[in-house]
């Protein structure tokens, strides 16, 4: 079983916690996708079977007990400092925006007290919980999608849709690697907009990665200087980003993007995803499976078919 990603994050934890986590079974390691630390509370490992409390003997249980490993406030601070490369101040902007990316694309989200300036959160103090989301490598997760679009020997845009922790980034990484490495379409010139340093380094043979670029800036930079055939963007969250993507589509570039969507209906109800879906530049919607099966595709559907089905139902309701 694959435990590499789990093991590589252990060096960021205090020695006591690292020792307990390093001895958990390979089964637990391979299925754990989140580890949550809360000050003066038990460590919780999240897997496809739900919440699991870490015990001092390196076993896990669905029920808390006196044998659970409890994290101190000082240990929380040590974890935060280690993840931030012992320079928390230099990461305040990332922390304020929600999370810090570390290692090979792992995420650390924080809870604490917001510092607000001019109606915007500028920093976070008194951090008392850390949520580690483990980045998994599923190199074949985009194969089903690639097989589907290759049937027509062409495609336009693709929207990858799913709830948090369903593996949208995982599918995009796999897609970027293979579409730029001669998978059915012949080494497509690909640009990956890696705004939050989550995509890792294995991006494919004919792929350029723009790390740290805000999506809108990265798209315009790619158009100006990299002449891509396809641009890949993770987590489109604003209508401004969506509108920049549509501007890019008018230049003839194909886009593959991901959005936070919980259901088919949400694709047409949320402003960001509806802006993309209504543009006419996206021909496939890919819905991912539930939390616990990261990167697993639930359904691939042509967007026009889904749109007709959705709006037909609405008309029938009237």
**Per-residue pLDDT, 200:** 65
d(CA 284, CA 155): 8
pTM score: 0.80
What is the pLDDT at residue 291? 65
* Rounded CA separation 315/318 (Å): 5
CATH of domain 143-317: 3.40.50.300
Task: Indicate the helix (H) or strand (E) that contains 44.
Answer: strand 44-47
pLDDT score of 315? 47
Segments of the chain assigned to CATH 3.40.50.300: 143-317
208-233 as b/e: b if 16+ CB within 10 A: bbbeebebbebbeebbeeeebbbbbb
CATH 3.30.450 residue ranges for the chain: 4-133
Q: What is the pLDDT of residue 318?
A: 42
Strand 157-162 versus strand 282-288 pairing type: parallel
CB atoms under 10 Å from CB of 200, counted, come to 17
pLDDT in tens, 200-243: 666 789 999 999 999 999 999 999 999 999 999 999 999 999 99
Residues of the chain with pLDDT under 70: 1, 138, 183, 200-202, 291-293, 311-318
Over the stretch 117-147, which tens digit does the pLDDT of each residue have?
888 888 888 999 999 999 877 678 899 999 9
Reported for 106-112, long-range contacts at CB under 8 A and 24+ positions apart, including other chains, are 106/5, 106/9, 106/132, 106/133, 106/134, 106/135, 107/132, 107/133, 107/135, 107/198, 108/79, 108/80, 108/83, 108/132, 108/133, 109/133, 110/80
Domain at 4-133, CATH from 3.30.450, 3.40.50, 3.90.1210, 3.30.70: 3.30.450
Question: Tokens 């995803």, residue?
Answer: 273
């Amino acid at each position: 079983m694959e435990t590499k990603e789990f093991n590589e994050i252990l060096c960021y934890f205090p020695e006591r916690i690292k020792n307990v986590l390093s001895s958990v079974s390979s089964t637990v390691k391979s299925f754990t996708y989140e580890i949550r630390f809360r000050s003066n509370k038990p460590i919780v490992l999240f897997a496809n079977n739900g919440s699991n409390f870490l015990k001092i003997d390196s076993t896990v249980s669905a029920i808390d007990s006196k044998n659970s490993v409890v994290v101190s406030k000082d240990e929380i601070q040590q974890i935060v400092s280690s993840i931030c490369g012992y320079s928390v101040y230099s990461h305040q902007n990332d922390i304020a925006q929600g999370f810090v990316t570390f290692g090979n694309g792992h995420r650390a989200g924080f809870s604490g007290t917001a510092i607000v300036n001019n109606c915007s959160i500028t920093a976070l103090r008194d951090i008392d919980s850390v949520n580690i989301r483990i980045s998994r490598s599923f190199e074949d997760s985009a194969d089903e999608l690639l097989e589907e679009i290759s049937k027509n020997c062409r495609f336009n845009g693709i929207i990858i849709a799913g709830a948090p922790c369903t593996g949208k980034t995982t599918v995009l990484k796999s897609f970027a690697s293979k579409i730029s490495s001669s998978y059915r379409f012949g080494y497509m010139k690909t640009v990956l907009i890696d705004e939050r340093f989550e995509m890792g380094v294995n991006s494919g043979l004919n792929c350029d990665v723009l790390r740290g670029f805000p999506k809108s800036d990265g798209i315009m930079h790619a158009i100006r200087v990299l002449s891509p055939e396809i641009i890949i963007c993770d987590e489109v969250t604003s209508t401004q980003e969506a509108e920049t993507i549509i501007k890019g589509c008018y230049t003839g570039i194909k886009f593959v993007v991901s959005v936070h969507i919980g259901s088919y209906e949400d694709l047409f109800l949320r402003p960001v995803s509806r802006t993309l879906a209504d543009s006419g530049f996206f021909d496939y919607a890919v819905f991912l499976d539930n939390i616990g099966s990261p990167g697993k595709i639930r359904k691939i559907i042509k967007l026009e078919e889904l749109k007709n089905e959705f709006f037909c139902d609405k008309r029938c309701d009237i």
